[in-house]
Amino acid sequence: MFFIRKAILEDAEKIAEIHVKSWKSTYSELINEKDMSNITYDNRKVFWETVLSLPMVGQVALVVFDEQSNIVGFISGGKERTKRFGYDGEIYAIYLLQEYQRKGLGSMMLNAFAKEMKTFSYHSILVWVLTQNPSSKFYLDYGAKQIDKEETTIGKGTYQETAFGWESIDMLLEQF
Protein backbone atom coordinates (compact mmCIF):
# COMPACT_ATOMS: atom_id res chain seq x y z
CA MET A 1 0.00 0.00 0.00
CA PHE A 2 1.22 3.50 -0.82
CA PHE A 3 0.42 6.92 0.56
CA ILE A 4 1.01 10.55 -0.41
CA ARG A 5 1.89 13.52 1.76
CA LYS A 6 3.40 16.96 1.43
CA ALA A 7 7.19 16.89 1.20
CA ILE A 8 9.14 18.27 4.16
CA LEU A 9 12.73 19.45 4.52
CA GLU A 10 13.80 16.08 5.94
CA ASP A 11 12.78 14.49 2.61
CA ALA A 12 15.33 16.50 0.59
CA GLU A 13 18.02 13.79 0.55
CA LYS A 14 15.66 11.03 -0.54
CA ILE A 15 13.98 13.25 -3.15
CA ALA A 16 17.44 14.14 -4.53
CA GLU A 17 18.36 10.47 -4.70
CA ILE A 18 15.12 9.59 -6.52
CA HIS A 19 15.50 12.59 -8.81
CA VAL A 20 18.96 11.51 -9.96
CA LYS A 21 18.29 7.75 -10.15
CA SER A 22 15.01 8.14 -11.97
CA TRP A 23 16.37 10.85 -14.26
CA LYS A 24 19.29 8.65 -15.29
CA SER A 25 17.19 5.50 -15.74
CA THR A 26 14.55 7.38 -17.75
CA TYR A 27 16.86 9.44 -19.96
CA SER A 28 19.96 7.25 -20.36
CA GLU A 29 18.94 6.37 -23.93
CA LEU A 30 17.63 9.86 -24.78
CA ILE A 31 20.36 12.19 -23.52
CA ASN A 32 24.08 12.14 -24.23
CA GLU A 33 26.07 10.78 -21.25
CA LYS A 34 28.13 14.00 -20.97
CA ASP A 35 24.93 16.03 -20.73
CA MET A 36 23.46 13.62 -18.17
CA SER A 37 26.42 14.13 -15.85
CA ASN A 38 25.14 17.66 -15.04
CA ILE A 39 22.48 16.18 -12.76
CA THR A 40 24.26 15.05 -9.62
CA TYR A 41 23.08 13.99 -6.21
CA ASP A 42 24.91 16.91 -4.57
CA ASN A 43 23.36 19.62 -6.74
CA ARG A 44 19.89 18.05 -6.50
CA LYS A 45 20.22 17.78 -2.70
CA VAL A 46 21.05 21.47 -2.40
CA PHE A 47 18.22 22.30 -4.79
CA TRP A 48 15.63 20.29 -2.83
CA GLU A 49 16.86 21.57 0.53
CA THR A 50 16.36 25.09 -0.78
CA VAL A 51 12.91 24.40 -2.23
CA LEU A 52 11.68 22.65 0.90
CA SER A 53 13.18 25.09 3.40
CA LEU A 54 11.76 28.14 1.64
CA PRO A 55 8.34 27.03 0.46
CA MET A 56 6.56 29.54 -1.74
CA VAL A 57 2.83 30.12 -1.67
CA GLY A 58 1.27 28.25 -4.55
CA GLN A 59 4.04 25.69 -4.89
CA VAL A 60 3.35 22.02 -4.29
CA ALA A 61 5.78 19.19 -3.47
CA LEU A 62 4.38 15.77 -2.66
CA VAL A 63 6.04 12.42 -1.98
CA VAL A 64 4.66 8.92 -2.40
CA PHE A 65 5.79 6.40 0.19
CA ASP A 66 5.15 2.82 1.28
CA GLU A 67 4.01 1.33 4.59
CA GLN A 68 7.59 1.45 5.90
CA SER A 69 7.76 5.20 5.12
CA ASN A 70 10.19 4.62 2.23
CA ILE A 71 9.79 7.43 -0.28
CA VAL A 72 9.67 6.04 -3.83
CA GLY A 73 8.62 9.06 -5.87
CA PHE A 74 7.70 12.72 -5.88
CA ILE A 75 5.87 15.39 -7.84
CA SER A 76 6.34 19.14 -7.63
CA GLY A 77 5.03 22.22 -9.32
CA GLY A 78 3.46 25.61 -9.02
CA LYS A 79 2.96 28.67 -11.17
CA GLU A 80 3.46 28.12 -14.90
CA ARG A 81 6.86 29.61 -15.74
CA THR A 82 6.67 30.65 -19.40
CA LYS A 83 3.40 32.63 -19.33
CA ARG A 84 3.08 31.92 -23.05
CA PHE A 85 0.25 29.42 -23.28
CA GLY A 86 -2.54 30.64 -21.00
CA TYR A 87 -2.02 27.94 -18.37
CA ASP A 88 -1.60 29.03 -14.77
CA GLY A 89 -0.14 25.87 -13.17
CA GLU A 90 2.78 23.63 -14.08
CA ILE A 91 4.25 20.28 -13.08
CA TYR A 92 7.96 20.99 -12.63
CA ALA A 93 9.03 17.41 -11.86
CA ILE A 94 7.45 14.00 -11.47
CA TYR A 95 9.71 11.03 -10.82
CA LEU A 96 9.37 7.48 -9.52
CA LEU A 97 12.10 4.96 -8.89
CA GLN A 98 12.15 2.59 -11.86
CA GLU A 99 11.00 -0.46 -9.87
CA TYR A 100 7.84 1.41 -8.79
CA GLN A 101 6.82 2.60 -12.25
CA ARG A 102 3.74 1.16 -13.97
CA LYS A 103 2.06 0.35 -10.64
CA GLY A 104 -0.44 3.23 -10.58
CA LEU A 105 1.71 5.50 -8.42
CA GLY A 106 2.17 8.12 -11.13
CA SER A 107 -1.61 8.34 -11.43
CA MET A 108 -1.91 8.59 -7.67
CA MET A 109 0.61 11.44 -7.59
CA LEU A 110 -1.00 13.27 -10.53
CA ASN A 111 -4.42 13.08 -8.87
CA ALA A 112 -3.11 14.35 -5.50
CA PHE A 113 -1.12 17.09 -7.24
CA ALA A 114 -4.16 18.30 -9.21
CA LYS A 115 -6.25 18.40 -6.03
CA GLU A 116 -3.55 20.36 -4.21
CA MET A 117 -3.13 22.79 -7.09
CA LYS A 118 -6.88 23.39 -7.10
CA THR A 119 -6.70 24.42 -3.41
CA PHE A 120 -4.33 27.19 -4.53
CA SER A 121 -6.94 28.31 -7.09
CA TYR A 122 -5.06 27.09 -10.16
CA HIS A 123 -7.34 26.31 -13.07
CA SER A 124 -5.06 24.58 -15.58
CA ILE A 125 -1.81 22.58 -15.63
CA LEU A 126 1.04 22.33 -18.13
CA VAL A 127 3.99 19.90 -18.13
CA TRP A 128 7.11 19.79 -20.29
CA VAL A 129 8.41 16.36 -21.34
CA LEU A 130 11.36 15.38 -23.51
CA THR A 131 9.72 14.60 -26.83
CA GLN A 132 11.37 11.19 -27.14
CA ASN A 133 10.30 10.15 -23.62
CA PRO A 134 7.87 7.22 -23.99
CA SER A 135 6.26 8.26 -20.69
CA SER A 136 4.63 11.22 -22.45
CA LYS A 137 1.79 8.81 -23.31
CA PHE A 138 0.92 8.91 -19.59
CA TYR A 139 -0.24 12.53 -19.91
CA LEU A 140 -2.21 11.84 -23.08
CA ASP A 141 -3.94 8.92 -21.33
CA TYR A 142 -5.24 11.42 -18.76
CA GLY A 143 -6.60 13.78 -21.38
CA ALA A 144 -3.71 16.24 -21.75
CA LYS A 145 -3.42 17.97 -25.10
CA GLN A 146 -0.15 18.58 -26.88
CA ILE A 147 0.46 22.33 -26.83
CA ASP A 148 3.87 23.10 -28.29
CA LYS A 149 7.40 21.85 -28.90
CA GLU A 150 10.64 23.72 -28.35
CA GLU A 151 14.35 23.18 -27.97
CA THR A 152 15.95 22.99 -24.52
CA THR A 153 19.57 22.81 -23.44
CA ILE A 154 20.76 20.09 -21.10
CA GLY A 155 24.46 20.30 -20.39
CA LYS A 156 25.91 21.26 -23.75
CA GLY A 157 23.33 19.37 -25.78
CA THR A 158 20.12 20.56 -27.38
CA TYR A 159 17.00 18.44 -27.05
CA GLN A 160 13.36 18.83 -27.98
CA GLU A 161 10.65 19.11 -25.32
CA THR A 162 6.90 18.87 -25.79
CA ALA A 163 4.42 20.76 -23.64
CA PHE A 164 1.25 18.95 -22.67
CA GLY A 165 -1.59 20.59 -20.82
CA TRP A 166 -4.96 20.32 -19.21
CA GLU A 167 -7.03 23.45 -19.78
CA SER A 168 -9.12 22.51 -16.76
CA ILE A 169 -7.97 20.87 -13.55
CA ASP A 170 -11.58 19.74 -13.06
CA MET A 171 -11.44 17.86 -16.37
CA LEU A 172 -8.20 16.20 -15.24
CA LEU A 173 -9.71 15.22 -11.88
CA GLU A 174 -12.66 13.63 -13.67
CA GLN A 175 -10.20 11.08 -15.11
CA PHE A 176 -9.64 9.52 -11.67
Tell whether the model's pLDDT for residue 48 goes beyond 90: yes
Mean model confidence pLDDT for the chain = 93
Per-residue pLDDT of 101-142, as tens digits, reads 999 999 999 999 999 999 999 999 999 999 988 888 999 999
How far is it, in rounded angstroms, from Cα 29 to Cα 124? 31
Tell whether the model's pLDDT for residue 55 goes beyond 80: no
Cβ neighbours of residue 105 closer than 8 Å, sequence gap 6 or more:
2, 64, 72, 73, 96
Among 27-36, 56-65, 164-173, the least confident range = 27-36
Q: Which domains does the chain have, with CATH numbers?
A: 2-173 (3.40.630.30)
CB atoms < 10 A from the CB of 145, how many? 11
How far is it, in rounded angstroms, from Cα 156 to Cα 72? 30
Single pTM value for the model? 0.94
